[in-house]
Chain A
Amino acid sequence: MLRIESVHKVFNKNTPDEFIALKSLNLSVSEGEFVTVIGGNGAGKSTVFNIISGSILCDSGVVELDGTDITYMPVYKRASYVGRIFQDPMKGTAPSLTVGENLIIAYMKSMKKNNLSIPSSKEKNYIKERLADLKLGLEDRLNTKIGLLSGGQRQAVALVMATLVKPKLLLLDEHTAALDPVSAEAVMELTEKIVTENNITTLMITHNITSALDYGSRTIMMDLGEIIIDVCGEERKKLTVQELVSQYK
């Protein structure tokens, strides 16, 4: 499914600020796996996501998705396969467009590009149904500018946007970290529901170790640009939060 091979990334090469962010990283994720990613600040977690989604390019190595080499594919092209949600709820939606318009933008992934048709009522109904699945009442606010929604609501809409057209891979970068505990919990529950119901291959970065062990089927820990722990199955079930915390340097 996802194959990252010997991916190396150095920031500010040949300057005093030179920094090795990823050290010949290898990672394989199979179809339908839900991997939680933990590790201290600066460990290189977001850099891995940036390289997978194309917003930065690696210095050497290969990124392969479903057998296709996407290492140098432009962001907007690989975006049809990779869905991504950021920590900042402002990043994932266009604030002065309405909830409905934002979702149409996301839904356009599945349509012919740049066409001059106005979204049909069939498409609008589909979007409305998917929004209703959230059970947040947002289906009644399709004409509200999304900038007027709370962070939690925006993040929930971003979740629907990223999965409206089923992505081959979903990347969640601390997507509940900016929310209050109640909204964070709600968005996390929604994430789990959408990911499992649609069997979406997912990587989720989190600083909440409990979440990292409760959700998903595999956990990896990164440190200094390397994967230092990679557990799944029985071994993962036995792992405790304390044991993992003690691995943070």
Chain B
Amino acid sequence: MSLTSFIGAIELGLVYSLLAFGTYISFKILNVADLTVDGSFVLGAAASAVFTFSGNPVLGLIVAIAAGALAGTITAVLQTKMGIQPILSGILTMTGLYSVNLTVMGGKANIPLLNKTSIFTYAEQLFPGRGYKIAALFIIIAFVFAILNWFFRTQLGLSIRATGDNEEMCKASSIDTDFIKIVGFSLSNAIVALSGALVAQMQQSADVNMGAGMVVISFASIIIGSTIIKNKNITLGLLSVIIGSLIYRFIIALILTTNFPPSYLKLISSLIVITALSFPNIKKKMDVRKLERRRLHAKN
């Protein structure tokens, strides 16, 4: 692996670990696979690109966060107040967002940001050398990590974790679980949108289709992370997400050094998730087989 692709993998691993933080909140903490992510990621990228294009990259990040939070709120309201199934709620918001994203991007499928000032331009001035993007991303992720690590220990954060674990018990403890889910999903999608916003500025373009498969990619990162750090509290859980995201990008970078066609990358992400999620079940069946065979041997 060349130095360039090594640095590239770290950059991608870091910027997509924000995406994985976001889905960690919905998938691991609230126990719902929230497909809004594919749309809110692009929403963040689109908002960021529009503002970066007109010379306001920082404002772009802030607007992206707010827009992502709004998208998450909509999904949560569909789920709680309208009683639509969690998965379908996410799909509905995601589908609707496609039109919203196109509108935000002024009807164009792509916004190029070449030679535009982005937060990475500022970073380049601050940190000389090849690692300036890594430095900028590291600071942002450390900040988000610190906030989340604190937040999930507060009463509100604890209520979110408890709601994902046992909703009935939370209601019995006077927790307004509808409100709690709204907070959780909006926080989740705000971070996802921030991830999309940073990706757009880093790769100097936003594309209306750049969100496809983001849910699966983030699940793969979360799952890889959770096999490395097991039985964790919230701090280790968040750390495992960053590690998982970095490893995922290194796997992809390694695959790309071979002659493997890049068009298969999404299939590989899916296979990683399928393998990880089905592993416990398959292992159980194999264990039963083994026991059966052993008894058969003992009889003979």
Which residues of A are in contact with B by a Cβ distance under 8 Å? 53, 55, 74-77, 79-80, 83-84, 91-97, 101-102, 104-106, 108-109, 111, 113-119, 161
Contacts and interface: CB of A to CB of B under 8 A. Distances in A.
Contacts of B168: 55, 91
Interface residues of B, number: 24
10 contacts: A76-B174, A80-B174, A97-B161, A97-B165, A101-B158, A105-B173, A108-B158, A115-B154, A118-B150, A118-B153
A111 B161 contact: no
Contacts of A106: 173
A-B interface, 8 closest residue pairs, ranked by CB to CB distance from nearest: A94-B165, A79-B174, A94-B166, A75-B171, A94-B162, A80-B174, A116-B154, A76-B171
Contacts of B119: none
B176 A76 contact: yes
Most interface-central of B156, B159, B169, B172 (chain A CB within 10 A): B172
A109 B173 contact: yes
B163 to A, nearest CB: 9
Q: Provide the main secondary structure of the chain B interface.
A: helix
Nearest to A107: B173
A108 to B, nearest CB: 6
A70 to B, nearest CB: 13
Contacts of A53: 172
A114 B172 contact: no
B259 interface: no
Interface in B152-198: 153-156, 158-159, 161-162, 165-166, 168-177, 179, 183
Given A76-B176, A94-B165, A116 B156 contact: yes
A75 B169 CA distance: 11
Contact of B171 (A79, A97, A115, A117): A79
